[in-house]
Homo-oligomer: A and B are copies of this chain.
Amino acid sequence: MKRVAVQAGDFEVAAELAALEALGGGGVASFTGVVRGGGGLVALELEHYPAMTQAQVDRICDEAMTRWPLLGLSVIHRFGRLEPGARIVFVGTASRHRTAALESCAFLIDWLKSEAPFWKKEHFANGATGWVDARVEDEVKAKGWG
C-alpha cells in the first residue's frame, strides 16, 4: 500500500492509521506536522509546484520502500492557507519491524523538508509577511540518510 496525497483540505489521521494497522504488520509509526502559533502568526501559506509535487513525493516514497521492508506508507501534504493548529503534513509507515517503521517515518519527513517543492510564507497579525528560510540543518539531516 502506498498512498500519496497533495491537497488543500484537512485529513483524518485516524483513517490513515487504521489503514496502516490493517496491513497486519505489527508496527505503525507516524509523524504529523502542525502549524505552530506564536509571535503574532495568523497563518502559514504553503505554495507548491503542482506539476512536480505529486511525482516528487511519490519518488521519495519509492525510495523509502526500497530502503526499508515496509508493508505500506501514507504521505499527505497540504498546501494553501493554514492557521495555527492546522495539520500541514502526515507521514505514516507500517512494517513488521518497529525500527523500520520508525526510521522510514523519520527519513520521509526529513526528505519532504528538503526534497519536496513546497515553500512557506508567514502572515502576521500586523500585516507583515515573510518567506520562511530553509534551515541548513534540514538539508544536513536529509543528506545524512546518504
Interface of A is mostly: mixed
Count of this chain's copies in the oligomeric assembly: 2
Q: B27, A85: Cβ atoms under 8 Å? A: no
Q: Is A50 an interface residue (CB 8 A)?
A: no
Q: Does A70 contact B (CB under 8 A)?
A: no
Q: For residue A138, give the distance in angstroms from its CB to the closest CB of chain B.
A: 10
CA distance A141 to B97 in the complex (A): 13
Q: Judge whether A21 and B87 touch: CB under 8 Å.
A: yes
Asked if A31 is at the interface (CB within 8 A of a chain B CB), the reply is: yes
B-binding residues in A (CB < 8 A): 12-14, 17, 21-22, 24-38, 84-85, 87, 96, 98-99, 101-102, 105-106, 109, 141
